[in-house]
Amino acid sequence: MRLFSFPNPVNEASARLVAAGVVVQCAAFIVFREGWQLIPLAYGFVARVAAGPRFSPLGQFVTRVVTPRLAPNHRRVPGPPKRFAQAICATLSVGASVAWLLDAHAVAIVLVAMIAAAATLESVFGFCLGCVIFNRLMAWNVIPADVCEACNDLSLRWPKVADRVVADQLAGDQLAADSATS
């Protein structure tokens, strides 16, 4: 395993728990408005983009302490979209840090609120906004398909859904064939 690599696939429970930790960090910053609070927030995102949970204290706590104590069967999701989502939040958190240093406190608060909103969607509903953007960019061929083969293959993520889609397509093909011969 390389030192700076991102896990693929990603344990969805761990991703959601890290997002919950991010929500707490963002809420603390918004309430207390202390610039130093942006340091662990920004560092955590940059560390997770660079190497997954390896250098992130929050990521280490979640993957080594919390997640192992949960039910053993965790859903695995593709890593590249999660890394992309982390990169968006790294950009926002570093931007918030710079804004805070430049006395643009309102800008910093808005940027952190954006992170909090996205992290809340991930932690509470399992909806990864960055992943949706990643998949849209793949659909528009901005991100090459080979970056995340699993993102295009439903059978890897939802085997029952994929089986049903294939069955429906086969049934539709058979119906069309039967209509054509009648």
Strand partners, 76: 11
> Minimal CA–CA distance to 9: which of 162, 136, 153?
153
Counted domains in the chain: 2
Residue 119 has which token pair? 């992290």
The pLDDT > 90 percentage for the chain reads: 71
The pLDDT of 15-21, averaged and rounded, is: 97
The pLDDT of 125-147, averaged and rounded, is: 93
Domain presence at residue 173: yes
Residues belonging to the chain? 182
Domain presence at residue 31: yes
Residues 122 and 172 in one domain: no
> Minimal CA–CA distance to 82: which of 112, 105, 56, 108?
56
The verdict on pTM exceeding 0.85 is no
Rounded Cα gap, residues 5 and 48, in angstroms = 9
**Per-residue pLDDT at 32:** 98
Residue 173: its H or E element: helix 159-181
**Per-residue pLDDT at 71:** 73
Residues 86 and 153 in one domain: no
Domain presence at residue 3: no
- Tens of pLDDT, residue by residue over 72-125, are 778 899 999 999 999 999 999 999 999 999 999 999 999 999 999 999 999 999
Residues 65 and 129 in one domain: yes
Domain presence at residue 118: yes
Domain presence at residue 103: yes
Domain presence at residue 54: yes
Band of residue 2 on the pLDDT scale cut at 50, 70, 90: confident
